[in-house]
Amino acid sequence: MDPFAATDVVKSSTRRFSCRVEHYAKYRPGYPPTLIPFLEDVCGLTSYDVVADVGSGTGVLTEVFLKNGNAVYAIEPNREMRASAERSLRGYSRFRSIDATGERTTLPGRSVDLVAVGRAFHWLEPEKALCEFARILKPAGWVVIIAFRRNVSSPFLEEYDKLLLSFGADRRHMHRRRRELASFLTENAFEMKTFDEQRSLVLEELEGLTLSYSTSPAPDDPSAVPLLHAVDALFQKYQRDGGVVVGHAITMYYKQLGLPGKR
């Protein structure tokens, strides 16, 4: 059995975030300021390069590249997420919103210098996606895949993870899939670099982050009420000076995947 075959959870990815757009855009952590310098150093990124942001969601990563001066194709199959990005990024002349998937981007062959996937690779069929990335990349182009993982390094985070598992039927499956995909990237000769990040969250931010997860009950689902009550109780138990600390390990997987030849 193919461990990366699209399950019902993955197949529903274009719908799972439709009701979470506001929470996702407002409460998900952004990308570290070290991202662009890292890509400049490792991948030779310049402001002239064309970027495909695959699984671009509400456009958080897209905007990082737009602010760097890059032209960006934002590839996103979810209508509501794509519309949110189109509203917030409409002032950027080099932004192009594309209704497509990572396995079939609809972009011309050899049309981009860098393919970036932020927090979305676990929704893709990896073999098909890498073939598509290789097709659309210019010679010597790069792929960078960015994965976020919570650092469960405190009693609060241990309890918070257990709480999310108790309310998210798909959460164990998603954890397993992320581990399998990390192994897949390593086996396919992707190099990796990890950055650690910490944020202090007030209660509203913790609640919003919780509801932004695809494995949590939808914000308008009645089962979200007891989840938020439990989050509130956990926050009150561990908060210091009005906040709790949430840490993430942000891992960059990167590889030169474009066909041979000069850039």
Cα distances from 254 to residues 115, 175, 193, in angstroms, run 10, 21, 9
Kindly give the pairing relationship between strand 112-118 and strand 50-54: parallel
User: Which superfamily does CATH assign the domain made up of 8-158+169-200+247-256 to?
Assistant: Vaccinia Virus protein VP39 (3.40.50.150)
Q: What is the DSSP letter of 140?
A: E
Closest CA to 79 of 62, 101, 60: 101
Q: Strand 95-98's sheet: what is its strand order?
A: 95-98, 71-75, 50-54, 112-118, 137-150, 244-256, 191-201
Q: What per-residue confidence (pLDDT) applies to 71?
A: 98
Q: What per-residue confidence (pLDDT) applies to 2?
A: 46
Q: What per-residue confidence (pLDDT) applies to 15?
A: 58
Q: What per-residue confidence (pLDDT) applies to 186?
A: 93
139: left (phi over 0), alpha (psi -120 to 50) or beta: beta
**Domain ranges across the chain:** 8-158+169-200+247-256
Q: What per-residue confidence (pLDDT) applies to 176?
A: 86
Q: What per-residue confidence (pLDDT) applies to 138?
A: 95
For the four alpha carbons of 240, 241, 244 and 250, in that order, the dihedral sign comes to negative
Residue pLDDT tens, the chain, 263 long: 344 444 444 445 555 666 778 888 898 888 989 999 999 999 999 999 999 999 999 999 999 999 999 999 999 999 999 999 999 999 999 999 999 999 999 999 999 999 999 989 999 999 999 999 999 999 999 999 999 888 777 899 999 999 998 987 677 788 788 889 999 999 999 999 998 888 999 999 999 999 988 888 888 888 899 999 999 999 999 999 999 999 888 999 999 986 555 44
